[in-house]
Amino acid sequence: MDGQLISIIVACYNVEKYLDRCIDSIVRQSYSNLEIILVDDGSTDKTGEICDKWVKKDARVKVLHRKNGGPSDARNAGIRGSKGKWLGFVDGDDYILPAMYSELYAHRVEGGIAVCGSEIEKDGKRIPCPAIDTVLSPKEAIDLYIENELQSHYRGLFTYFGSYACNKLYDRSLFNTVLYPKGKKYEDMYIIMEILHIARKVCFFPSCGYIYVQNPDSITHGRDIIHESFYARKKQKEQLQQYWGITDSRMEELIACEYFLMLSRYSFLTAGEQAQNKHIAKWAWKNLQQIGYFHFPLKMKLKLFLFVHFPGLARNLRKIYHKG
């Protein structure tokens, strides 16, 4: 017999191509005591219609239709409308494996977080990101989180303990005082330090449950050079000092990686767009030099050389690579 109610919040915005698979994977969970809250965030495609269809098909499903406010507002609306003792999040373009919530519930932590393994799906191929099997204190989890974030930049891997909410099961009480920041992208990065500050423990287990699908239409894939992730990373550095009294040099490394990403995005732009954004690229390069990039792997250093000194060549090489 299933245990306590788990509320699963699915924030949806223009994901008509993916949403049926996502919802189907949730309603087919071996853990059946679920409340499935679909938050249609002002979609302009058929996302809202698909949500309404599933409400009629499964009594556990309910939908909130709202004006577009971004992923943070959508998740907050879902949290406010939830009734479960436990909270889970699934993005509308992803999907989950049948036993994910059974296993997360089996590893649940009163006042804490359970974390399962995940995979990233790109071009139809799935790359495993297995988690470890251990229970950590919040302070130990922060150390692991920072190290995982660095490895994701240095090795280009999707790691098992990032800030993303979707491979986790939360005690709902953690969200009594924490909400996603209004109007922000990269919302998970803003609250991970807050959540760990009030959590009791973090339980990891290695079974894969969540499939993250790289969606080229995602709002996190834009042409802005300075992404919200930069500001979120700066906020994390402040939170680490505020909540834990910790000054970790690795946070400076992560901020350096954000400047690297800005220069990388700059190389994506057309020649005209590069001319318009040249001042931002110069600013990013100046700040990166001040922090230092000696810790970057050789491959990143070579890319950086191209981004800074030959952005046009970098752009053309990208075109050739993607055509191949």
> How far is Cα 187 from Cα 72, in angstroms, rounded to an integer?
6
**CA dist list (Å): 265 to 40, 155, 277:** 30, 18, 11
pLDDT tens-digit map of 257-300: 999 999 998 888 888 888 888 999 999 999 999 999 999 999 99
* Spatial CA neighbour of 202 closest among 193, 210, 214: 193
> How far is Cα 121 from Cα 131, in angstroms, rounded to an integer?
17
> How far is Cα 253 from Cα 286, in angstroms, rounded to an integer?
15
> How far is Cα 159 from Cα 151, in angstroms, rounded to an integer?
8
Pairing of strands 202-213, 113-122: parallel
* Spatial CA neighbour of 212 closest among 294, 118, 285, 140: 118
pLDDT band at 83 (very low <50, low <70, confident <90, very high): very high
Go through the domains of the chain in sequence order and give each one's CATH number: 6-213 (3.90.550.10), 228-323 (no CATH)
Q: Write down the mean pLDDT value for the chain.
A: 89
> How far is Cα 265 from Cα 161, in angstroms, rounded to an integer?
25
Which residues neighbour 222 within 8 Å (Cβ) at sequence distance 6 or greater? none
- Bridge partners (DSSP) of residue 62 are 37
Q: pTM of the entire structure?
A: 0.89
How high is the pLDDT of residue 163?
A: 86
Three-state DSSP class for residue 285: helix
How high is the pLDDT of residue 123?
A: 66
pLDDT band at 130 (very low <50, low <70, confident <90, very high): low
Decide which of 271 and 94 is more confident.
94
pLDDT band at 172 (very low <50, low <70, confident <90, very high): very high
pLDDT tens-digit map of 103-128: 999 999 999 999 987 877 766 777 77
Beta carbons of 12 and 40 less than 8 angstroms apart: yes
CA end-to-end distance (rounded Å), the chain = 52
pLDDT tens-digit map of 173-220: 999 999 999 888 889 999 999 999 999 999 998 888 899 887 666 545
Average pLDDT over residues 163-172: 92
Q: Where are the alpha helices (DSSP H) in the chain?
A: 19-27, 47-57, 71-80, 100-106, 138-154, 187-198, 228-244, 249-268, 271-276, 278-291, 298-309, 311-323
Q: Looking at the predicted structure, is the pLDDT value of residue 323 above 70?
A: no
Q: Looking at the predicted structure, is the pLDDT value of residue 156 above 80?
A: no
Q: Looking at the predicted structure, is the pLDDT value of residue 255 above 90?
A: yes
How high is the pLDDT of residue 322?
A: 59
Residue position matching structure tokens 């853990």: 31
Q: Looking at the predicted structure, is the pLDDT value of residue 101 above 90?
A: yes
pLDDT band at 321 (very low <50, low <70, confident <90, very high): low
